[in-house]
Amino acid sequence: MKLKQISVFLENRPGHLNQICGVLKEANINLVTLTLADTSEFGLLRLIVREWEKARAVLENAGYAVNVTEVIAIEVPNEPGGLHRILQVASKGRLTVEYMYAFTFGRNGNTQIVFRFSNMERAAEVLTSAGINVLSAVEFYEENSLGNCS
């Protein structure tokens, strides 16, 4: 149920994101999803790839600061209140959302949202017991692929 997410710290300067994407391209690593948050001085690139161990190694070998965390992907009805229901379950289960990012597509009228909760084990239990579809890695990777970011 849990996915490995790679976080890469990068300087907020022209071309730096492109360099990271070039490293991944040269290693033939395909992106599944990503998000980028920044401040005036640095950025935090979060990405999910099938070959996360290889991605971590090539990025570290290229000199980047890399961290690996666990996240979960949840299928959410693509309708008004779909996310609200998920957050209600999380709130009742006393789960704290650290961050999330979403796809605008999915299957069967659903969308997918990647979540990082403060307690990932408990989050998977609470959400699954409430009938929320927490995607397995196989389901997630089969449905999603962005291609190389170069």
pTM of the model: 0.83
Mean per-residue pLDDT over the chain, rounded: 88
pLDDT, one tens digit per residue, over 36-60 is: 988 777 889 999 999 999 999 999 9
Q: What does each C-alpha distance from 14 to 10, 19, 41, 42, 141 come to in angstroms?
A: 11, 10, 12, 11, 31
Domains of the chain, CATH where assigned: 2-69 (3.30.2130.10), 71-136 (3.30.2130.10)
Q: Which residues of the chain have pLDDT under 50?
A: 148, 150
pLDDT, one tens digit per residue, over 104-118 is: 666 677 788 999 999
* Closest to 148 measured CA to CA, from 20, 57, 62: 20
The reported pLDDT for the residue numbered 105 is 64
The reported pLDDT for the residue numbered 140 is 80
* Closest to 110 measured CA to CA, from 144, 78, 136: 78
